[in-house]
Amino acid sequence: MRFLLLCGVLLWASGGAQERPIHWLQRALQAEGSLTVAGVRVTELQVGRSVRRMEERFWRQGAQAERIEILAPPERRGEVLLLRDGKWLAFQPRTKEAFELPEKLPQGTMLLRKAIEWVQAGALQAELLPDTTVLGRDCAVVRLSRARPPRGRPELSPKPPHFPAHMTLWIDKETGVILRYESSVHPNAPVLRMEITRLELNPRLAPDLFTLPSGVTVRPLSGEYKSVEEAQRAVPFSIRVPRYLPAGATLERVLVRRRLTDNAPMVILHYRTPNARFSVFQTHQLGDGEFEPPGRHTRRLSVRFWRDGDYRFGVVGNLPQAEIERIAHSLNRTNP
């Protein structure tokens, strides 16, 4: 009898340990890093009452490679995200261009690893919510939130940087796959939701699924450069440099800024003179689109925005307006 009682206690303790929140986080991390899965998922970003919805098809080969194809909305259908060699690429088949995304783009394994680290350090609080089902599969539900020290006591552990204030994970009990999640930076911030609507375990993957087609040009999405020559490889159009510069003007840096929804990147040339600073903005875009003034403080500066053929330009600085106009005129090619 004593032996049976001891066995019962051990089984109860073992089962209780498996129900700990960190156990499910570790299961999810293992699944993200090792399983081969495919399926369809829906992602929603809610800002106030506004909801932006995106439907994606995905293939994931553990932590080694991942492919995401956008199915909806219609204007973005066909865009592809690829994870290869530890880097994310955004591929647009219509233009045969791919862009290197920032290295800090969050991944499932990265977030889970950080979550486990901060739970163990006491900076995150993890709790189990009642079990539920997603896609007809039993799920453990883990809610993560930033831990608060007891009233009147100093904070004992550091705050987790760049981590949502609240995150809830629906983890498949059988496989460890995260079937749904919801997160927000703080209570009044936008809410991000994801839910898998179709799941395939151990699918057969095409050999070239995680490679780019031949003839695709890969460019940095954005970056900072010391010269125009360095920045030129990041943009598909010829960067124009002012033929006129005020006395003592030197080029400090070149910025390339691009969003995936833009037709073309923006190039910003930052100049400095002994007594002033000014910047030249330019982009190359077909059609009659207007150039949007950059920044909110241009009212206190001298500015000039205009078009020259398919180029859109802007010159902004604390120079006299006559100097701004002279710089602007020197950038034109159609009417030199």
Predicted confidence (pLDDT) per residue in 167-179, tens digit: 999 999 999 999 9
Predicted model pTM: 0.68
What pLDDT shows up at residue 1?
44
What pLDDT shows up at residue 12?
37
Question: Residue 209 domain-assigned?
Answer: no
Task: Tell me the CATH number at 92.
Answer: 2.50.20.10
Residue range(s) defining the domain that contains residue 259: 222-331
What pLDDT shows up at residue 220?
74
Instruction: Based on the fold, state whether residues 114 and 252 are members of the same structural domain.
Output: no
β-strands 124-134, 191-201: how paired?
Answer: unpaired
Residue 25's nearest CA partner among 105, 141, 131 is 141
Looking at the structure of the chain, the number of domains it has is 2
Coil, strand or helix at 123: coil
Residue 159's nearest CA partner among 146, 141, 150 is 146
β-strands 217-220, 97-100: how paired?
Answer: parallel
Question: Residue 212 domain-assigned?
Answer: no
- Does residue 336 have a pLDDT over 50? no
- Separation in Å, CA 218 to CA 65, 95, 213, 264, 306: 18, 11, 11, 14, 30
Residue 194's nearest CA partner among 45, 88, 329, 73 is 45
Instruction: Based on the fold, state whether residues 85 and 29 are members of the same structural domain.
Output: yes
> Is the model more confident about 156 or about 132?
132
CB-CB contact of 47 with 193 (8 Å)? no
Of 222-226, 281-285, 290-294, the poorest mean pLDDT is in 290-294
Instruction: Based on the fold, state whether residues 166 and 247 are members of the same structural domain.
Output: no
